[in-house]
Chains A and B, each alone.
Chain A
Amino acid sequence: MIHSQTEEFAVEATSLVKTFGDNKAVAGVDLKVPTGTIYGVLGPNGAGKTTTINMLTTLLRPDKGTAKIFGHDVVGEAQLVRQLIGVTGQYASVDETLSATENLVIFSRLLGLSKKEAKKKAADLLEEFGLTEASKRPLAKFSGGMRRRLDLAASLIAQPPLIFLDEPTTGLDPRTRTQMWQTIRRLVSSGSTVLLTTQYLDEADQLADRIAVIDQGKVVAEGTTSELKASIGTSALQLRLADSKKTADAVAMVKTVLKTSAVTFEGGLITAPMSNPDVVTDLLVKFRSNSIHLSEVSVQKPTLDEVFLTITGHGVEDNKEGETV
């Protein structure tokens, strides 16, 4: 049923291909972004993230494959698609020589607002993004974080139901980054769908409901954050003993109770894979009855870095330079 499809998916891309000369920047990407979610496209520099975004936002025409935004084709109905999306590019797409207000007023006017409405919209957005004080300054004097915020504000003028953010926090300091994350979360709570690309694994982990891992122009893994983590294995249980003399006894008990031989002891920490969290209770009860006391118990989840390494078979740093698209 076409109707339910358009409601369900904000983005539906099927085998998208884009080649630049000899370089197959995007080599058959499939994406399905459910409406109302934050979807993360994760990959290293030059993986084809920006090229994919450019095709989805009608800036580039795909060589092969199709993409639909809320059921509308990005090639055949480009002008219609543009009314449904907001795009914040990797590089600030605002006018450097003009002030923040002037920028927002011009974009608002272009989107059909009257002079009065445009001024109000600009003031509202600047207020919302904490830029009111700087509204009259030329952008040349803006910090990177302020510029990104203005950029995002400009994408929200038309209140588009789908927002593309291409590496929204690249180059930002940790504090500004956290602010940006909060803003993105608020967007989704007001009903938007967000598709963001990132090369920061923790960013995808923090924000995204679902993640597609993209490498060398292909989606190499897709799923929820926990699915992806689960796909590379289990969490690890870490224990620190109050009395290290009892280490040998404790390790033996962990091996029998958790039914595993892969127990390590390093830096005062006993680490064991935890495939069934339920049996940990048994282990703790056994420790208690044998008067082995613990000073620390923690569970280590696999990080997305490990996920990435496992899926692509190479580390993030391994990618050649100069592949950036």
Chain B
Amino acid sequence: MTTAVIVPGADRNLKNRTSLKQSVQNSFTMAYRGLLKIKRTPEQLFDVTLQPILFTLMFTYLFGGAISGNIASYLPIIIPGILIQTVITTSVVTGVQLREDMNKGVFARFKSLPIARIAPLAGALLAGTVRYGIATVLTFAMGYIMGYRPGAGIGGVIAGGLLTILFAWCISWIFAFFGVIARTASSVQGISLLVLFPLTFLSNAFVPVNTLPQWLQWFVSINPLSHLISAVRDLANAGTIGQDFWLSLLGVIVVVAIFAPLTVRAYMRKA
């Protein structure tokens, strides 16, 4: 048994708040936990490994000729589009897994520990970025194999990839919210895909916007994903940072500002 005598409760000098440093540390420990779990069940990485390869192949050969005349000139348009679609779809999984995790007893312990309230959520979301990273690398690699030579070189590609990962992390707060309020993992998947489907397809990911009917053009132009896709195209193909970059950045900051507190509050209320 522990030989050290336990310090009596009344003699302890304690604070009733969590420092920012502790919050960050706790979140990283929870992320480490998420990575350990991926290591134990690597089959859960199927979606981020197979989807980028399959979609890039399918959509490029399917639409390339019709939209851009040939495959080579379509690649700079579709690779950023597919990248965003894949990575954002992957961010749904973060919410689904969070729900699965929360249904287990271990989350009761996390709640009873003197750790930052946000850590179990932030950690899960942070571990998700590894998945986004894998999807990003694979999509660009697949594009390269098919002949995509980004105009801005490796630097632009890395910048575009990082922006995508950051964006996906911010968006995953929405799905984390669904994850916290939903009862089952499959319902999280259902709701999330319902939101995502129109957002990813009704964007400038696959087709030039000017071919669309007026009302749809309007939707595409306010769709935050369109701005993100344009921003990544700017970065990877031309190496420039334009209005779309700042708009998408602003957009996701707003998303986090709304959904992070909302999610944490819902999480705390659920026993």
The interface of chain A, by Cβ under 8 A from chain B, is 3, 6-7, 10, 35, 54, 57-60, 69-72, 76-80, 82-85, 87, 89, 91-98, 102, 106-107, 109-112, 128, 138, 154, 156, 158-162, 186-187, 189-193
Contacts and interface: CB of A to CB of B under 8 A. Distances in A.
B180 to A, nearest CB: 15
B106 to A, nearest CB: 5
A88 to B, nearest CB: 9
Contacts of A80: 14-16, 114
A83 B114 contact: yes
Contact of A110 (B1, B26, B271): B26
Contact of B2 (A70, A92, A128): A128
A1 to B, nearest CB: 12
A107 B271 contact: no
B6 A190 contact: yes
B149 interface: no
A79 B114 contact: yes
Contacts of A161: 6-9, 12
Contact of B17 (A79, A107, A112, A159): A79
Contact of A106 (B1, B10, B32, B107): B32
B10 A7 contact: yes
Contacts of A160: 6
Given A79-B17, A110-B113, A138-B40, A89 B119 contact: no
Interface string B17-58: 110001001100110110011001100000000000000000
A110 B112 CA distance: 12
B181 to A, nearest CB: 18
A7 B8 contact: yes
A35 B8 contact: yes
A107 B109 contact: yes
Contacts, number: 127
B108 interface: yes
Given A80-B16, A95-B33, A71 B10 contact: yes
12 contacts: A69-B9, A70-B9, A71-B10, A82-B114, A93-B109, A98-B33, A102-B36, A109-B32, A138-B40, A159-B4, A191-B8, A193-B9
A106 B114 contact: no
B29 A106 contact: yes
Given A7-B10, A95-B106, 9 more contacts: A60-B271, A77-B16, A80-B15, A84-B12, A87-B112, A95-B104, A98-B40, A109-B25, A111-B115
